[in-house]
Amino acid sequence: MNENTLVQEFLEVLRKAPKVALFSHVSPDGDCLGSMLAIGLALEKMGKEVLFYNPNLVPSNLMFLPGSSRISQQLPDPQPETLVFVDCTDLGRVNLLTSDISKVSTILNLDHHISNQHFGHINWVDAQASAVGELALTLINLLGAEIDSDIATNLYTAIVTDSGCFQYGNTTAQTHRLTAELLDLGIDLVSIHHNIFDQKPLSQIKLLQYALNGLEIHAEGQLALMTLTLEDFQKSGAEQELSEGLVNHARSIVGVEAAVLLKEAGPLEIKAGLRSNLWLNVNEIATKFGGGGHNRAAGCTFRVPIEDAKQSIVSTIGEALRIGRNY
Q: How many whole angstroms separate alpha carbon 94 and alpha carbon 139?
A: 22
Give the C-alpha separation, 251 to 259, whole Å: 5
- 306-326 pLDDT, tens digit per residue, is 999 999 999 999 999 998 865
H or E stretch covering 233: helix 230-236
Burial of 314 (0-12, 13-18, 19+ CB in 10 A): middle
Question: Domain 202-326 falls in which CATH fold?
Answer: Diaminopimelate Epimerase; Chain A, domain 1 (3.10.310)
Is the link from the previous residue into 267 a cis peptide, with omega within 30 of 0?
no
pLDDT at 325: 67
What was the pLDDT predicted at 145?
A: 97
Average pLDDT estimate for 73-98: 95
Q: What percent of the chain has pLDDT over 70?
A: 99
Answer whether 134's CB lies under 8 Å from 174's CB.
yes
Confidence at residue 114, expressed as pLDDT on a 0 to 100 scale:
92
- CA-to-CA distance for 302 and 125, rounded, in angstroms? 27
Provide the whole-model pTM.
0.89
Mean local confidence (pLDDT), 40-68:
96
Mean pLDDT value across residues 164-175: 91
Number of C-beta neighbours around residue 241 at 10 A: 18
The strands making up 258-266's β-sheet, listed across from edge to edge, are: 216-218, 223-228, 258-266, 269-276, 297-302, 292-293
Which pLDDT belongs to residue 168? 87
Q: What is the pLDDT of residue 4?
A: 82
Percent of the chain with pLDDT strictly greater than 90: 91
Give the strand pairing for 223-228 and 258-266.
Answer: parallel
Q: Which long-range contacts (CB under 8 A, 24 or more apart) does 143-149 make?
A: 143/11, 143/14, 143/15, 143/42, 143/43, 143/46, 145/42, 145/43, 145/45, 145/46, 146/45, 147/42, 147/181, 147/182, 147/185, 148/41, 148/45, 148/185, 149/185, 149/186, 149/187
* Inter-residue contact 317 to 285 (CB < 8 Å): yes
Asked whether 159 and 126 are in contact (CB, 8 A), the reply is no
Q: In the CATH scheme, what architecture does the domain 3-197 have? A: Alpha-Beta Complex (3.90)
> What ranges do the domains of the chain cover?
3-197, 202-326
The predicted structure's pLDDT at residue 1 = 63
pLDDT one-digit tens code per residue, 183-231: 999 999 999 999 999 989 999 999 999 999 999 999 999 999 999 999 9
- What letter represents residue 258's amino acid? A
Run of H or E residues at 8: helix 3-16
pLDDT of residue 241: 87
- Nearest 5°: the CA angle 64, 54, 10 is 100
Neighbours of 293 (CB within 10 A): 22
CA-based nearest residue to 60, from 223, 232, 238, 184:
238
Q: What is the mean pLDDT of residues 281-294?
A: 95
Instruction: Give residue 170's pLDDT.
Output: 87
